[in-house]
Structure 1
Amino acid sequence: MSTTASSTPAVREEHADPIADPGLHEHQPRPTDVDEKAEKRAERQIATLFGLSALFAVLFVVSYFVFHIGEDPTIIAGYGASNVALGVCLGMSLLLIGIAAIQWARKLMSDVEIVEMRHPAASSDEDRADAITALNQGIDDSGIARRPLIRNSMLGALGMLGLPTIVLLRDLGPAPGDKLAHTVWAKGMRVVNDVAGTPIKPEEVEIGQLINGEPAVFYEEVDGEPKFEGVTLQQAKAKAAVILVRMKPSDITPAPGRENWGVEGILCYSKICTHVGCPISLWEQQTHHLLCPCHQSTFDLADNAKVIFGPAARPLPQLPLKVDSEGYLVAQHDFDEPVGPSYWERG
């Protein structure tokens, strides 16, 4: 059977739209597009919303300091007044900014229907230039440049939101003060094995050996009660943990003033890495290197725990040792520098 010309598909024009244009309804202007009074009224409403947002941000800060928490909290309707006030104020501040932005877009920003074709590949330079032009046009259509009342009130509301953020930083905890600069180590305090809690004599440590240690005070009692327990114990242990290593005295290069900080080749260093505070005990006997398992910082314990590799910026603090009257290893005094990671105030 022959095919007639009428049954042949029509050839699509080269520049025809990939999908037939369904057409758009006639554009309906908004009241603010045709009524200047309505436009000004909307502008004032949006600025008011931004202003109220700023007010709630201030009330958040006021509530933080006014309502009591802790042992004698302020209660409203059976709930902690502080939590209720902080939640309501911060929520309202964010909500009002959102409502103001929506009203701005619906009532005052450019209201024009547009059609954009999809591109199967990267845009050409001309298209990119057009995109920048369209972006600038959008900024102009938003009216932010010619509506200083809305612009300034929005910036004020967003700026006020920084106040709750600053205040909430206080809840990260009290400033440490000089707590990071000191540990429980003190003159004459014995070094004990951190597993058995037994004191250590120099002759019990072999060359090349590493022992994880801690201060004996953790095992002492006062009136039958331990000196440290619970959270206080864990905090003290986190700073006071040490490692003991023994090397040939001829391999050690002590820093000036530290010639008598070791005992027969036995040195004691903080176990806490000076990078981000990971505990270290990966010991290479032949090289005298101590490796951090977290980020591979490497310290040469024969050379004052100097950093020879990795991100750590400081040597491990050294605890000076001596032997007490009973022949056990004890500290000469506390570390002479803060242990653990570096921080801004650390000199």
Structure 2
Amino acid sequence: MSYKLIPPGKRRNRHYWLRGTIAGERVEVSTGCETRQAAQAWAADYVARLEGQRVPGIGEVVAFERAAELYKAAHPHLSKSDIRLVGAVAKYFRNKGKACHEVVHADLVAAADELKPGRAASTKNRKVIGPAAAVLHYAANNQWCTYQRIEKFWVSRKSNREPARDEDLAVLIANVEAPPRRKKFGRKADYNVAFKRLLLLMLYELGLRIGHLLTVRWDDVDLRAARLKVRIPKSDEIASLELSPVIVSELANLTSATGVNRPALGRGVDRRGRLFPWTTNRGVHAWLKPLTDRLGIKYTPHMSRHKLATDAQVLPDKKAAELGVWKDPRSLHRYQHVRPEAIPGRSAATLLALPAPDKRKAS
């Protein structure tokens, strides 16, 4: 990059002009400034904008922060969380003044220890090593540095979670209604009983992550075909899952929080927006945690996913991964209690077929 400022003259009127080669292109443009100080400031901003729009060539020295910006621009579908993590790592290496070809594994370890001190190895891998490796691999693909295999911190692949028990889920469903609460104008009834029951049944049958299930909208439900469409962000796919007759019946007879029937096969009312009234995991745990504590049951929504993986015994890896909507069949092997297959014909009717449990009272 080479340029200079030409002072005002007869041919250039009263403004400074900028002339030179910037970002590999020949440039000659008026600054619109009459003083040298103002022209220098304008030129610095102009050059920075041109350099920011240019993609570095093969073999050029590229700062890690610049590579991170180009990586984010090349991947417009990154989540807000991923963008934030990449930005934090880029800021760290900007302060260190590191270019891509200067970053080695020891630098990544130091970054993880400084950005996430005292955190678990899995957290450091997910929030520092992973984002940094993605930027370095992108830089290597563009030949701004040599490719290097990034080694992550060792993490045990054995799961410390237990799968959900059918008996416990049956008790939860039988006691899903919250105790009436005394309010100023009488008792407040639990209008979300049908939704709570449906959520537990769908978690058991489909083995979906709670966050994915909460994003389901009424437009994604097709009761005539007994299918449910779910967007899986991890694999960036739309999964089409089969629904059992029990789930279809629950959906067809579902009532809203206001008591309005929402039949999918008829001309239902208020069948817009999300299927469930909770938009975040926190909204589910707000009623599920008190319920499990009151009944003395150990259960979280993800335990139903572990249950699906645990019961896998018939199908091969690939088919099992499709059933559980795992991006990689190898994910099944990360569960301590998993065999790499899945049960065909899995249905929420299994829970409802169990002997009716006695409704437990709060202790």
TM-score, normalised with respect to structure 2: 0.19
Q: Which one has the bigger helix percentage?
A: 2
Which is greater in Rg? 1
